[in-house]
A and B are shown apart, each in its own frame.
Chain A
Amino acid sequence: MEIGAGEFVCLLGPSGCGKSTLLRLIAGLEPLQVGNIQIGDTGVANSDTGLYIPPEKRGVGLMFQDFALFPHLTIYENIVFGLSQPPQEQIRSVRDAMIEMGLSDLSDAYPHMLSGGQQQRVALLRALAPQPEILLLDEPFSGLDINLRAQIRDETLSALKKTLTTALMVTHDPQEAMFMSDRIMVMNRGQIEQVGTPREIYQFPISEYVARFVGQTNILPGIVLDSGYDEIMTSIGPVPCLSMRDLAFGTDAFISIRPESFAIDPEGPLQVEVIRIRYGGNYTILKVKLLEEIGKGHLLQVHVHPNTRIDIGERIKLRINPDFVTVIEDAKPNGS
């Protein structure tokens, strides 16, 4: 994998898939068993040549999930910890950044006196102060409560963009990954499964794993049709599909239909009965049972606008918007 200068890349995967280990390998906190790592033009670890640059010589910044602020140092001492005999101008820029982040009154306070959000800001400033070539972020927002998280994400992004710092973040939260990254790498069992922009990952997942990890979806088996349109014949009938991945007609394939691909439409081809309703705030989640001849009794998950008034047992008609439908390779169809 490669990360371009100034880019914000996110490693997305469930806990235990090896993403934090990858960060620690890049930082030099774990010995590399196989492969090589290069930062800028400099190789920092290579298993073949036995090259190993210790973390203090790599010029990386690292932000931890628990922030790892030094409890015995003040906020200011924490932030300038990585600067050896800092020049005046660097101190001034640290001071400026502290003012900007609302930390200037706290420079003599100790970490345990700060709120989670403030600690996070200190950790960010401390990691950025030595102007690292790359900033590594290990689930940096998971310790914060939801309301604060969005605000701190914004602050972090603008601080990074301002300093043009390259960043690699690991997270298990797809929302966070999509919100922040230029590019996402989805990891599965130590391997990178798909790399792409947030939109590509969400709209066109290449596997069931990716499709399910970044959101809810309906997975159906089918065959590519030679109808002149991009369509797939599935167990619920022909479904229009935006991304066909150049599969030849007659090929067996699976499709992923995001719940928001469905729209209520009196003219729609799919008649369904609503069997469950869950109000989700910004959308309403319906579970519906197909009443059509083909695929009768099939259960689907559908997102509709929260304003929609609907009751259990009601019969509605749906159509499928092809934007959020994609062909995926190996998959198991919905159990439902």
Chain B
Amino acid sequence: MTASTNSPAWPRRLCGSFPTDPWTVGTLIIAALVAAPIISVLLLATSPSDGIWHHLVSTVLPRYIQTTIILMIGVGICTATIGIGTAWLVTLCNFPGKRIFEWALLLPLAIPTYVVAYVYTDILEFAGPVQEILRDFFGWKSGSDYWFPEIRSLGGAIAMMTLALYPYLYLLTRIAFLQQSASLLEACRILGRGPWRAFFQVALPLARPSVVVGVSLVLMETLNDFGTVDFFSIETLTAGIYDVWLNMNNAAGAAQLATVSLAFVLTLMGIERYSRRKQKYFQTISKFQSISNFPLTRGKSFLAFFSCLLPIVLGFLIPAGVLLVYATQFYEESLSANFMLYARNSLVLSSLSAGLAALLGLFIAYGVRLSGNWILLAAARFASIGYAIPGAVLAVGVITPLSRADTALNNFTESIFGISTGLLLSGTIIAITYGYLVRFLALSYGTAEAGLSKITSNMDGAARTLGMSPTKTLIRVHFPILKGSILTAAILVFVDTMKELPMTLLLRPFNYGTLATHVHQFASDELLEESALGALAIVAAGILPVILLSATIRNTRPRHDSYERTTP
């Protein structure tokens, strides 16, 4: 073996051509495809718009922005209060039912916001059972005899979204509390601080980055929501995009609104990224001891018990219970309302998207790992911001390049073969699948990336020096180790696409429905009972990630027999 050094290292480095192996090229292509809609929204926003912008500013825009901000503030404060409070109680206090609450508090995640809204409107409106019982009991005759809060209002929307979204904060803060060193809290108690002061002076400040990340996620979901605001006739930016596009038939105006929405998202993402970076400095754990809990007095125990019970009852038990009752009562009607067709459509679309997302996510993550090239990493990161962008905005971004491609394809085939291909891309499930991938690839990419980062690069080195090509290494080493987390990623994408409403409404082919659009349409027509089976199916699917997530939390404090950790 000989090694000679004869020329300085840097010129070669600069002149070195970009790697052209299939992994690098493939990763770049996928990243470019996924990034295309995001870029296309940005381009649309900056392109000239024939005064639409001024029109929007002078008419609806201020109202949209105001409503959106009030909604976001309301949801942010309420979810933070419930999420952090319950997380603290179940993590650090002792009271009956704590073990069950630990996972049950995640249950409301299974129910999409719009389903919660449909159910509560159904039972709380004038003709609903609650007001009926009150009227019977007090002998009221009409609505003028008494006051009852109007559910279809901004306040109602805040309540609905809080019930559906607080688990995000619960989840992230609970993990943060679990990762705090037990000895910190012990020190706090030895220095004479009770639970309240330990919470406000130590635990909460340390959990702050996670809280901020959680609130950002909740607010992104709030911005994304279309079903609830549409049903409640609340004029948010997302509702506006939909209205301007479909009802006023003005795609450019929709794109303009989409960019305003994007500005909100980018701000949130900036805050989120910044806090995540801080998060690592706030992870104080040095060794994993079990946290000693604060014992509660009898009265306080009851209070804690009911504080944890209430969000579960309101956010899960009541909506799921109502749906269950309707679904059994109106089983025949549900089936005749084409339930099977929609269920099949949902299943096909979600499986297709989940499979593709899992595959592409792994491909990109492995491509980045192989090349270690920063351009690739940046492209992959950019491609995964789709998750933060509201479905309605992404729909605008997806449809624009696809219809251009359709026109080009159509012109091409017509001029060569004399055949019109029609809307081959934008008019079929290709468009909606593409949209799902753009929005949810981040889930599978993130999971694959996290999984791969746990496998030491020496593992690759060992396989390579033992004669395996990169592809064989992936198949024989990484894939078997990552099987579990890839499956998890696929399940998460599956469930999320199943629940997805705003993008599905805009991108689905004509006369094509999924369970989500079916429930949305029937509920909007005050026919919730007949779509309850569909809603229940979505909820049932949504329970899967809840189970996965609670398993994740439980493993936050690592066990000794962890499979993926291989260093001795």
What is the interface of chain A, defined by CB distance below 8 A to chain B? Answer: 1-3, 22, 24-29, 33-39, 47, 54-58, 60-62, 64-73, 81-82, 84, 111-112, 116, 119, 126-127, 130, 132, 134, 136, 143
Contacts and interface: CB of A to CB of B under 8 A. Distances in A.
Contacts of B54: none
A36 B462 contact: no
Contacts of B9: 33-34
Given A55-B465, A58-B465, A66-B567, 13 more contacts: A3-B1, A28-B464, A33-B12, A33-B13, A34-B9, A57-B467, A64-B461, A64-B462, A70-B462, A71-B481, A72-B563, A81-B466, A84-B467
B100 interface: no
Given A33-B13, A37-B1, A66-B566, A81 B6 contact: no
A1 B561 contact: no
B480 interface: yes
A22 B357 CA distance: 38
A34 B566 contact: no
Nearest to A123: B462
24 contacts: A1-B3, A3-B1, A25-B3, A26-B1, A29-B465, A34-B9, A56-B465, A56-B467, A60-B465, A61-B465, A64-B462, A65-B458, A67-B568, A71-B563, A71-B564, A72-B477, A81-B476, A112-B561, A112-B566, A126-B462, A127-B465, A130-B467, A132-B465, A136-B465
A154 B302 CA distance: 66
Contacts of B460: 29
Contacts of A126: 462, 466
A68 B568 contact: no
Secondary structure of the B contact surface, majority rule: loop
Interface of B: 1-9, 12-13, 456, 458-469, 476-477, 480-481, 561, 563-564, 566-568
A45 to B, nearest CB: 9
Given A1-B1, A47-B12, A143-B568, A56 B464 contact: yes
Contact of A62 (B465, B469, B481): B465
A73 B561 CA distance: 16
B5 A34 contact: yes
Contacts of B13: 33
B1 A39 contact: yes
Given A36-B2, A37-B1, A64-B458, A29 B464 contact: yes
Contacts of B469: 54, 56
Nearest to A27: B465
B461 A55 contact: yes
Chain A CB within 10 Å — which of B9, B462, B465, B476 has the most?
Answer: B465
Contact of B466 (A22, A130, A134): A130
Contact of B3 (A28, A37, A134): A37
Nearest to B466: A82
B195 to A, nearest CB: 39
B568 A81 contact: no
A35 B7 CA distance: 8
Contacts of B1: 1-3, 26, 37-39, 134
Contacts of B7: 34
B458 A68 contact: yes
A1 B464 CA distance: 24
Given A33-B13, A35-B5, A66-B458, A112 B466 contact: no
Given A33-B9, A35-B6, A71 B464 contact: no
B456 to A, nearest CB: 6
Contacts of A55: 461, 464-465
A130 B468 CA distance: 12
Contacts of A38: 1-2
A26 B1 CA distance: 9
A39 B4 CA distance: 14
Nearest to A133: B1
Which 4 residue pairs of A and B lie closest in terms of their CB atoms, listed nearest first? A82-B466, A68-B458, A55-B464, A64-B458
A73 B165 CA distance: 41
Given A29-B464, A82-B466, A112-B566, A68 B456 contact: yes
Contacts of A1: 1-3
A167 B549 CA distance: 48
Contacts of B566: 66, 68-69, 71, 111-112
Chain A CB within 10 Å — which of B1, B8, B458, B464 has the most?
Answer: B1
A130 B566 CA distance: 23
Chain A CB within 10 Å — which of B9, B464, B564 has the most?
Answer: B464
Contacts of B5: 34-35
